């Protein structure tokens, strides 16, 4: 079975700050570093480090060739990756607080140059039942969902960042939907900050035929599969001595979860393994560099943090 990730690639500038800036306030950053990033790139690296064989499709500018080289170094197939002659690579400014929380400003760049004709080429080598992983950092998501459905692919979507266009997208065609608390509330149009159980119940009502995973940060995950005898699963988060940076924790979870499911791991086991990987990710700075390798996750589950 093939795994195709049509996803974003970004250059991340990460600033360490004492607190989030207030309107009109100027802050001195205590540190600034540049990292490879983008939800698509992060998730492909997580898949690869979890042991999966993954193909990455997307677009970069001339300034992002090092991102392609990074994917290649991780044994990710970058054959479909487009080098755009005029657009810069996607760019993110990430502000990180002392407790590891972050906020992100994103410019899509080349990620938003993808068109329906690109998607047709990307999915042409796939067969019915192959997996397609998507995020919401690329253009024309609506079109790729329809094309994937026609090709009978198993589509896994992490709809981040949330945009109003998602309400018009055919999300009922998804095999799996992975969201955080804010995205869940936005998708079902209830107040952000509503109780996770309320948001999850609304998701179940709206997407009864979809595997649903709600990530809750330090509170773990809630998840369910359609037509299963067990109730909603609640998997606790793994604890780590200190949280350095939560950037890419959700992407790490997504990649590891999908890799485990494609290895035929039972649903609860895949969720637990992905939670361990996400926790380890939070102990290191940056996005892609913080994604752990499989041996580290196995050691955490067996012995604790290492």
Question: What is the Cα–Cα distance from 280 to 137, expressed in whole angstroms?
Answer: 24
Instruction: Determine the 3-state secondary structure of 133 from DSSP.
Output: strand
Tens digits of per-residue pLDDT, 109-163? 999 999 999 999 999 999 999 999 999 999 999 999 999 999 999 999 999 999 9
Q: Which of 177, 267, 281 is nearest to 238 (CA)?
A: 281
Instruction: Determine the 3-state secondary structure of 79 from DSSP.
Output: coil
Q: What would the mean pLDDT of 81-90 be, rounded to a whole number? A: 95
List the catalytic residue out of 198, 245, 251, 269.
251
**Range scoring the smallest mean pLDDT among 94-103, 212-221, 293-302:** 94-103
> What is the per-residue pLDDT for 245?
85
Instruction: Determine the 3-state secondary structure of 31 from DSSP.
Output: strand
This prediction's pTM: 0.92
> What is the per-residue pLDDT for 306?
53
Instruction: Determine the 3-state secondary structure of 111 from DSSP.
Output: helix
133 to 67, 174, 250: CA distances (angstroms) = 19, 10, 14
Q: Which two tokens stand for residue 234?
A: 């609640």
Count H helices and E strands in the chain, helices first. 9, 14
Q: Which of 214, 211, 240 is nearest to 227 (CA)?
A: 211
Is the pLDDT confidence value at 181 over 90?
yes
Check: CB of residue 225 under 8 Å from CB of residue 210: no
Q: Is 69 a catalytic residue?
A: no
Quote the mean pLDDT of the chain. 94
Check: CB of residue 156 under 8 Å from CB of residue 178: yes
Q: Which of 182, 136, 181, 183 is nearest to 155 (CA)?
A: 136
What are the boundaries of each domain within the chain?
A: 3-7+40-84+112-303
Check: CB of residue 114 under 8 Å from CB of residue 143: no
Is the pLDDT confidence value at 274 over 60?
yes
CATH superfamily assigned to domain 3-7+40-84+112-303: Ribokinase (3.40.1190.20)
């Amino acid at each position: 079975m093939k795994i195709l990730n049509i996803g974003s690639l970004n250059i991340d500038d990460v600033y360490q700050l004492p607190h989030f800036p207030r309107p009109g306030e100027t802050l001195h950053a205590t540190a600034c570093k540049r990292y490879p990033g983008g939800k698509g790139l992060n998730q492909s690296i997580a898949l690869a480090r979890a042991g999966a064989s993954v193909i990455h499709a997307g677009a970069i500018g001339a300034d992002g060739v090092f991102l392609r080289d990074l994917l290649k170094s991780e044994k990710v197939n970058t054959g479909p990756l487009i080098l755009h002659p005029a657009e810069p690579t996607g760019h993110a400014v990430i502000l990180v607080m002392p407790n590891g929380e972050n906020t992100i400003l994103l410019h899509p760049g080349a990620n938003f140059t993808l068109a329906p004709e690109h998607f047709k080429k990307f999915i042409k080598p796939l067969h019915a039942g192959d997996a397609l992983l998507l995020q919401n950092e690329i253009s024309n998501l609506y079109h790729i969902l329809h094309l994937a459905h026609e090709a009978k692919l198993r589509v896994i979507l992490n709809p981040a960042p949330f945009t109003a266009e998602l309400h018009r997208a055919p999300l009922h065609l998804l095999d799996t939907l992975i969201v955080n608390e804010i995205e869940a509330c936005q998708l079902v149009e209830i107040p952000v900050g509503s109780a996770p159980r309320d948001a999850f119940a609304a998701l179940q009502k709206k997407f009864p035929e979809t595997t649903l995973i709600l990530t809750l940060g330090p509170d773990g995950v809630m998840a369910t599969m359609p037509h299963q005898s067990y109730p909603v699963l609640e998997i606790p988060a793994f604890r780590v001595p200190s949280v350095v940076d939560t950037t890419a924790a959700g992407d790490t979870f997504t990649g590891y979860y999908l890799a485990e499911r494609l290895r035929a791991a039972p649903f609860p086991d895949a969720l637990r393994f992905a939670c361990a990987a996400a926790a380890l990710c939070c102990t290191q700075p940056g996005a892609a560099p913080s994604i752990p390798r499989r041996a580290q996750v196995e050691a955490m589950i067996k012995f604790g943090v290492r």
